[in-house]
Amino acid sequence: MNFFIKSFLIYLVAINTCFADEIRVFNFTETELSELEVRKVRGADNKTIYTVGSNDNGNFLKATANNGASGLGKEIKIDLNKTPFINISWKIEKDLLGIKEDTKKGHDFAARVFAVKKTGATPLSNRAINYVFSSNNEIGKNWPSPYTKKSVDNVLASTKNNLNEWVTVKANVKEDFKKFHNLDVNELDGLAIMSDTDNSKMKAIAYYQNIYFSSK
Q: Quick one: CA dihedral 76, 52, 172, 142, positive or negative?
A: negative
Contact (CB, 8 A) for 39 and 196 = no
Contact (CB, 8 A) for 66 and 201 = no
CA angle at 112 for the pair 208 and 43, rounded to the nearest 5°: 120
Contact (CB, 8 A) for 106 and 201 = no
- Whole-number pLDDT of residue 5: 40
- Whole-number pLDDT of residue 123: 67
- Whole-number pLDDT of residue 11: 37
pTM given for the model: 0.88
- CA distances for 156 relative to 135, 140, 212, angstroms: 11, 6, 15
The structural domains of the chain, with segments of one domain joined by +, span: 24-214
Sequential DSSP letters for 21-49: TEEE-----HHHHHHSEEEEPTT-SBPPE
Q: Give SS3 for 109.
A: strand
Question: At the top level of CATH, which class does the domain 24-214 belong to?
Answer: mainly beta
d(CA 128, CA 189): 10
Phi, psi of 154 (to 5 degrees): -130, 120
- Whole-number pLDDT of residue 145: 97
Per-residue pLDDT of the chain (216 residues; tens, 9 = 90+): 443 443 333 333 333 334 458 999 999 999 999 999 888 888 888 999 999 999 999 999 999 999 999 999 999 999 999 999 999 999 999 999 999 999 999 999 999 999 999 987 666 679 999 999 999 999 999 999 999 999 999 999 999 999 999 999 999 999 999 999 999 999 999 999 999 999 999 999 999 999 999 999
